[in-house]
Amino acid sequence: MLTKKSTVGTGVGRRLRSSAARLVGQTMDRRGFLKRSGLGVGAGAIASQLPYNFIGAAEAADAPVAAGAGDTVVRRTVCTHCSVGCAVDAVVKNGVWVRQEPVFDSPINLGAHCAKGASVREHGHGEHRLKYPMKLVDGKYQKISWEEAIEEVGDRLLKIREESGPDAVYWIGSSKHNNEQAYLLRKFVSFWGTNNTDHQARICHSTTVAGVANTWGYGAMTNSYNDMQNAKAMLFIGSNAAEAHPVSLLHILHAKENGAKMIVVDPRFTRTAAKAHQYIRIRSGTDVPFLFGLLYHIFQNGWEDRKYVEDRVFGMEAIREEVLAKWTPDMVEEACGVPEDQMLLAARTMAENRPSTIVWCMGQTQHTIGNAMVRASCILQLALGNIGKAGGGANIFRGHDNVQGATDVGPNPDSLPGYYGLATGSWKHWSNVWGVDYEWVKGRYASQELMEKSGITVSRWIDGVLEDKELIDQPGGKLRAVVYWGHAPNSQTRGAEMVEAMKALDTLVVIDPYPSATASMAAMVRKDGVYLLPAATQFETVGSATASNRSLQWREKVIEPLFESKPDHTIMYAFAKKFGWGEELVKNIKLEKDGHGWDEPNIEDILREINRGTWTIGYSGQSPERLKLHMKNMHTFDVKTLKAQGGPCDGEYFGLPWPCFGTPEMKHPGTPNLYDTSKHVMDGGGNFRANFGVERDGVSLLAGDGSASMGADLQMGYPEFDHLLLKKLGWWGELTDAEKAAAEGKNWKTDPSGGIIRVAMVNHGCHPFGNAKARAVVWNFPDAIPQHREPIYSPRPDMVAKYPTHDDKMKFWRLPTLYKSLQEKVKDISKEYPLVMTSGRLVEYEGGGEETRSNPWLAELQQEMFAEVNPKDANDAGFRNGDYIWVESPTKARLKVRAQVTQRVAPGTVFLPFHFSGWWQGEDMLKFYPEGAAPIVRGEAVNTATTYGYDAVTMMQETKTTLCRVSKA
Amino acid sequence: MSMPVSKRIVTAAFAAALVGGLGACGEKSQVAVYEQGTYQGKADTAAWDGPAFKGDRAAWEAALKNRARGQNEYNRTE
Amino acid sequence: MGRMKFLCDAERCIECNGCVTACKNEHEVPWGVNRRRVVTMNDGVPGERSISVACMHCSDAPCMAVCPTDCFYKTEDGVVLHDKDQCIGCGYCFFACPFGAPQFPNGPSAFGARGKMDKCTFCAGGPEETGSEAEYEKYGSNRLAEGKLPLCAEMCSTKALLAGDASVVADIFRERVLRRGGGAEAWGWQTAYGGGEQRRERKQDREGQK
C-alpha cells in the first residue's frame, strides 16, 4: 500500500547514478560545490532572506554570476514544466544554483509546487544532458566543435535548399522556448523561406485554438486558474488536472472547500476524479454526445440563459433543434454509456450553481473530431451564459510552460506571429515591423503562393517524407531534412513509421538540452547524417513565458549555460549568419557577446519588437519593464482577481494577461477574463469579437443593444475599428498628426502607431475588435454544428455505421489525409484488437519525458513504464499485476510494459502514460544514446504503437481512442 | 560501543513482545513496556541560537509565524 | 510558541509528490532513501485518499524509547532528532515507528550493515554546528534555524501538508474544516501526538518500506 506504482530495488538506480556522476564534466553538484567552497548553507540562507529589491539592485551591476567570491543572489524564475506558471526563487552562490525557495508572494502558486516544480534545481546539475555538439559517425555519436556543427549542418541544409527548395527542410520549434525565442524562430524560418514549421501546440490544443477562436474570437483559456476560486460548479472533461496541472488544484480545492461542486468526466477514474462530487465514466471519444446530452436537459428544463443567448450568441436555435432531435437520453446512453439520471444530475449541477466553469485538456482535443468536441464545450457554456463571467468561462488548461506563448507568437505553419495569418497584407505588416523589404522576404520563398500557403504540421512530418512525391502538395516534393528544435519525437503518433521517416532523411538535426530520444531513435536506423546541438535551458537565459491564463512572466537568468550549451536565440543567429541573413534577422535587435565570443541577440529588444507588431491579441503592452515590475511586486496582486491593489502596478492584472492592448504607454491593465462586459475595456473588460462579418443568412452577427462592455460610448453591437469607422464616427480628429499619418488606410491590427486602438479604448471605451455575437454554428468548419463521429479505429462497428467519420481529403495541410476509406478498412479490426488504447500524463514527468526522466529526484518515483488494465481484462488475458505484458496495436507494433491491474480503468480500456521512451518493442535502446546522455529511466513510448487519425480542421493527432490487445510477455 | 545493561534488557523485552504480538495474531494487542533512556549523543543548539537569530527567540518565533502564514491561502483570498 | 507538528489534510492531498522531491532537493537525499513519501489508500476507486508521511516528531516517540544507544533527542520545540555518530544501524527504531519513518541507506540488509539511520529532521539539521558543512552532510539543511519551515510543507501544491507550531497549524486546519463542513480527520495525529498512547501494532502502515 505504501509503494508507488513501481517499487523496484534501488540497485539499478544507484548504479546509474554513480555512472552518471563520472560524466559530470564542468558542472558541479551542490555537494561538490559546498565541499570545494568550504561553505555551509548558512551564508546562502541568510542572503535568501534579503528583500527582493535589494537583490535586484545587486544584480543590476550585471556582473557574470560566476564572478566574485561569496556572491550570493536570488534569481526569480518560473517553473518550466507546465502552463500554470509557478514562480521559483533560485539561490545562486558563486554561479552555482544551491537552493530553491518557494515564492509565497506569487499570486499564481503562492509558493506551491508539484513534484516537477519542487525539483527544478536539478537543472543546475544536469548530469544527463548533452554536453557538447555531436554527430553520428558510423552509427556512433562523436564529439564535434560548435564551429564544425554550424558549418556542417549549415552546408548540408543550404545544399538541400539549393537542390530541392526551401520547403524541403522542416523546422520543428518549441513550446519550451520563451516568447522571444519562439517569435525569433518564426521569423527565422520565414527568412529561410518556408512555412514548414510547427511546435507542440499542434498536438496539444490546436483543435481548441481553432474551435474556440472561431466561436468567440480568441483561441485561449478565457479565465484563469485563480478565477476558478469564484466558480460555483466545475466540470472537468478530458482533464486530469491533479496530475497534469497539480498547482491548479490549490485554487480548485479552495473553491470546493467553499461550496463549489466538482464533476469529472473521463474514461478513467483519475486522481482528479477522486476529488470530485460526481464522477462520470464515458466511453473514450464520445464527448459530443455527452455535452449535447447535458444540453438536452438544459433545453428541456429551460435552464439556458435566454437573454444572454439572444444578445450575444448566433445560431443557438439550430443547436437546440439538433440536440432535442438527436441527443435524447437513450441516444446519449447508447453512444457514451452514461444513463439519464447521471446526465440530468450533472446538467442540474451546472445550471443551478452558476457561474459554472468547464475545464478541458487533451482528453478532448486529441481526436479526429477534436474541433467539434471543443465547440460542443463552448456551446454548453454559451447556453448557460457562463462565458465572460468571473467564475465561469472555458478554462482550457494548456500543456507546456510556454505553449500559449509559442502558439501566440511562435512557429506556426499557418500564421505569422499574433494570428496574422499568411495573407499578403500580413507579410507586409510584419516585414515592416522587422525592418526588412517585403520583396526580399518574398524572394526567400519558392513562390508567393507557397509563402501564403500553410505548411505541413508536426503531426504529419513523417508523411512529408514517406508519402508519394506526387501526392505531396508542394513543388519541392518530399522533406529531406528535419530540425527538431526543442521537441520530443515520442509525443507524435505512429512511432513505428517515424523511424522509417528518420531513416529516409538526408539530414536530421536535434537542438535540445536533452536530445536523446530523437538521437537514439535515429541511431537505431542510421549510420550518419544526424547532428545533436546542446541548447541551454530556460534557467540559463532570460525572457518571458505566457502561462495558460495568458499572463506573461519574466524569467531572470539563474545560471550560465552548463557545459557547452548555448541559448536557442544565440544558435538561431549563428545559423542565420551562416545562411547569409544574420543582419536582417536582427535589424532591430542589439547583439551582445557571450562568454565565448558568440553573438547573442538581446531578448528585451526582441520583446519590444513583438510589442510593436502584435496588436491583434494585445502582446503590444507588455514591455520588459512592465513585466519585470510585476515580478518584483507579486505580493501586491490579489489572488482571486489577479488585480494589483496599490503599489507601482496599481489596477493592473498580474502578468498583463493578453490582450494587453495598445502601446505600453497606454497602460492597458491586461485582461483577466475574456469577453467580460461587466468591466470597462480599460479595466480589462470586453465582449465577443467581430471577426466573421456583420451578417449571416439575414441575421445580424453584431451583439444586441445594451450588451456592450461597461461604459462604452457605443452601447450596441459594432464592427471592428479601422480608419473608415473612425472617420465615420467623427473620432479621426482625436488622433495626433503622427498617428493620422500612420493609421491612414489601416485597421486597428495594422496601424503601427496604435492610435486607432488608443482612441477607441481610452477615449470611447470601445473594443477595437468590435462587439459581435459568439457563434454556436461555425459555418466554415466541416461540421458547422458539432457532430459525433466515431474514431477511425473504433471499438464499436455498430456505431461506425451510425456515426461514420469524414470523407478523405486529398490536399490538407499539403498532404492527402485518410478518413472514411481507412475507417471502412479497419471497421472490424476490434475483433482482433478489442481494447481501447488511450494515453495520458503522470505528475512526475512532462511531455516526451527525457528531461524529467533524467532528473533522479523524479525518476526515482516512476521507474518503469506501465499499462493500466482492468482486472477482468487481465484475467481474460492470463496475467497478473506486476507482470510484463505485450500491448499490441493494429499497426503490429508491440510494447513491453508492466501490468498495473486496477479498477481505475473500466473493462475494455487500457491506459498508458506517454512520457516514456528509450525502449523499442521490448529492447532497451541504451546503446543508441550518445554516451552519458541517456535518461535514468527508459521505457516503451506509447506512440510507437499509436495509429493513424487526424482532426479534420487542424491535423491534431488521435491519441486518445485507438485499439490494442494485451498478452503476457 | 557500550550499552547500559538495563537498556539491553529493555530492548530485548521489546523485541520479544513484538515477536509475541506477531505470533498471537488476532489476539488483543500487546503494548511493549519500555523506559526512556538518556540521550548519549552530542549536544545541539536551539534553532534560535544559530547564526541567523543569535539567540533572539522572539525574533525567531515571529519569523516562523510569518512563514506559517504562507501555508494558509485564506490570508490572500479573503 | 513551542511545539512543532506536521499535519496532512487528506481532503487536499493529490499525491503529486511535491513534498517528496522538495525534500530530495533541499537535503540532497540519495536515491533509495525517502524521508517523506506519499501513501494512497483505495487507489483507483471511489474513496481514494492520499497522505504524505514522514517522521511525525511524536510527543512520546517510540524510536527514542527503543534505541539501544540512546542516540535520539528532542529539541525544545518538539523536533525529534538523532546523532548519527551514535547510531549503530540496528533498525529497532524502524520497527517501533508507527509511520515507517526511519530509513537506512543500504536498505534492509543484515543487522549492522544497513548503515546509519536517516529520517526527516523537520528541516532542523542535527547535532553539529548550525549551518556547518558537517551538519548538512549528515542531516541536511537547517531551515528552522533560518526562520523557515520544512520545505515539503512550504512547497505543498495544495497546501495539504502543513508544518509549524501546533497552534498555528491547528488554526489553519480548523478554518478549512469549518468551511467545508467535514473532512476533519488529521491523519496520524492521534498516533503521533494523542495522549501519549503509542500504537506500535500498526504494522500494515509499514508495508512496502523495504
Render pLDDT for C154-204 as a digit per residue (tens, 0 to 9). Answer: 999 999 999 999 999 999 999 999 999 888 878 889 999 985 333 333 333
User: With an 8 Å Cβ cutoff, is A44 touching chain C?
Assistant: no
Q: What pLDDT is attached to residue B34?
A: 64
Same domain, A442 and A383: no
DSSP-derived letter for residue A643 is: B
pLDDT beyond 70 at B2: no
The residue segments making up the domain with residue A889 are 828-968
Pairing of strands A72-78, A96-102: unpaired
User: At what angle are helices A624-632 and A603-613 packed, to 10 degrees?
Assistant: 110
Q: Are residues A149 and A107 in the same domain?
A: no
pLDDT of the residue at B46: 94
Is residue A262, in this structure, part of any structural domain at all?
A: yes
Q: Are residues A528 and A575 in the same domain?
A: yes
Give residue B29's pLDDT: 54
Quote the pLDDT of residue A494: 98
Q: Are B3 and C68 in contact (CB under 8 A)?
A: yes
Give the rounded distance of the alpha carbon of A418 from its chain centre: 15
The pLDDT value given to residue B12:
40
Domain that holds residue B76: 46-78
Domain count, chain B: 1
Q: Tell me: pLDDT of B19 over 60.
A: no
Q: What residue spans of A681-808 are helical by DSSP H?
A: 723-728, 737-743, 755-758, 797-802
What is the average per-residue pLDDT within A571-575? 98
Does residue A408 sit in the same domain as residue A390? no
Chain A CB contacts of C159 below 8 Å: 110, 112, 250
Q: Evaluate whether residue B70 is within a structural domain.
A: yes
Residue A595 lies in a domain: yes
Cis bond before residue A804 (omega within 30° of 0): no
Residue A857 belongs to a domain with what CATH number? 2.40.40.20
Q: Is residue A472 one of the residues assigned to a domain?
A: yes
Kindly list the partner chains of chain B, i.e. chains with 3 or more CB atom pairs below 8 Å: A, C
Q: What is the pLDDT of residue C195?
A: 52
Last residue of a domain, one of A588, A610, A632: A610
Domain co-membership, A97 together with A191? no
- Give every CB contact of residue C171 below 8 A, 6+ residues apart in sequence: none
- Which helix H or strand E contains A150, and what residues bound it? helix A146-164
Q: Work out the angle between the directed axes of helices A287-300 and A370-383 (0-180°, nearest 10).
A: 20
Report pLDDT for B8. Answer: 40
β-strands A233-237, A261-265 pairing: parallel
pLDDT digits (tens, 9 = 90+) for A319-374: 999 999 999 999 999 999 999 999 999 999 999 999 999 999 999 999 999 999 99
Please state which CATH class domain C4-180 belongs to: alpha beta
What's the average model confidence in pLDDT over A607-613?
Answer: 98
Q: For chain C, which residues score pLDDT lower than 50?
A: 196-210
Same domain, A391 and A259: yes
Contact between A290 and A358 under an 8 Å Cβ cutoff? The reply is no
| Residue after which a domain boundary falls, among A370, A397, A424 | A397
How many angstroms from the chain centroid is the CA of residue C203?
A: 17
**Cα–Cα nearest to A538, from A59, A78, A930:** A78
> What is the reported pLDDT for A61?
34
Report CB contact under 8 Å: C39, A2. yes
Cross-strand bridge partners of residue A484: A172, A510
- Domain coordinates of chain C in residue numbers? 4-180
How many residues comprise chain A? 969
Residue A341, C-alpha cell as written in the block: 439520471
Interior CA angle at A884 toward A880 and A888, to 5°? 105
A250 Cα to chain C: minimum distance (Å): 4
pLDDT of residue B3: 41
Mean pLDDT calculated for residue range A141-156: 98
Across A70-93, average pLDDT: 95
Last residue of a domain, one of A92, A125, A158: A125
What's the mean pLDDT in A391-401? 97
Q: Which three cell numbers stand for residue A903?
A: 479498477
Q: Which among A944, A4, A37 is positioned nearest to A491, based on CA atoms? A: A944
Domains contained in chain A, number: 4
Of the pLDDT bands very low, low, confident and very high (cuts 50, 70, 90), residue B36 is confident
Q: What is the pLDDT of residue A13?
A: 31
Greatest pairwise CA separation for chain A in angstroms = 81
From the list C12, C18, C107, the residue facing A118 with the nearest CB is C18
Residue B8 lies in a domain: no
Strands, E, within chain C: which ranges? 4-8, 36-41, 49-54, 72-74, 80-82, 161-165
Q: Tell me the backbone φ, ψ of residue C138, rounded to 5 degrees.
A: -85, -40
Binary contact (C83, B42; C-beta < 8 A): yes
Q: Is the pLDDT of residue A174 over 50?
A: yes
**Has residue A594 been placed in a domain?**
yes
Question: Residue C150: helix, strand or coil by DSSP?
Answer: coil
Task: Give the span between the Cα atoms of A710 and A565, in whole angstroms.
Answer: 51
Q: Identify which has the larger pLDDT, A447 or A36.
A: A447
Q: Which residue of C has its CA nearest to B25?
A: C201
For residues A460-480, give the mean pLDDT: 95
H-type alpha helices, A22-51: 30-37, 42-47
Do residue A183 and residue A234 come from a single domain? no
User: What CATH number is associated with residue A167?
Assistant: 3.40.50.740
CA neighbor of A266 nearest in space, from A785, A793, A796, A836: A836
Grid cell digits, residue A589: 535587435
B:C CB pairs within 8 Å? 138
For range A535-557, the mean pLDDT: 98
Looking at residue A70, its pLDDT comes to 61
Instruction: Give the 3-state secondary structure of residue C24.
Output: helix
Whether residue A516 has pLDDT greater than 90: no
Please report which residue ranges of C28-154 form alpha helices under DSSP H.
62-66, 92-96, 133-139, 151-154
- The residue type found at A819 is Y
Tell me which DSSP letter residue A759 carries.
I
Query: Cα distance from B61 to chain A (closest Cα, Å)?
Result: 16
CA distance linking residue A308 with residue A302, whole number of Å: 13
Residues of C in contact with B15 (CB under 8 A): 92
- Asked whether residue B26 is assigned to any structural domain, the reply reads no
- Among A45-49, A678-682, C62-66, the range scoring the smallest mean pLDDT is A45-49
User: For residue A270, is it within any domain?
Assistant: yes
Query: How many cross-chain Cβ pairs, A to B, lie less than 8 Å apart?
Result: 24
User: Would B14 be classed as within a structural domain?
Assistant: no
Instruction: Round the average pLDDT of chain B to a whole number and report it.
Output: 71
Segment A685-690 mean pLDDT: 98
Query: Using CA atoms, how far apart are residues B70 and C147, in angstroms rounded to an integer?
Result: 13
| Residues A318, A457 share a domain | no
pLDDT tens-digit series, residues A403-442: 999 999 999 999 999 999 999 999 999 999 999 999 999 9
Contact at CB, B70 and A250, closer than 8 angstroms:
no
3-class SS of residue A510: strand
Residues A411 and A384 both lie in one domain: no
Residue A17 has pLDDT above 80, yes or no: no
pLDDT value for C110: 66
Judge whether A949 and A793 are in contact, CB under 8 Å: yes
Per-residue pLDDT at B77: 82
Partnered with residue A696 across adjacent β-strands are A699
Which letter does DSSP use for residue A805 in this model? Answer: -
What integer best gives the mean pLDDT of chain A?
93
A456 & A574 share domain: yes
Judged by CB atoms closer than 8 Å, whether chains meet at A40 and C31 is answered as no
Asked if residue A670 belongs to a domain, the reply is: no
Question: Is residue B4 predicted with pLDDT exceeding 50?
Answer: no
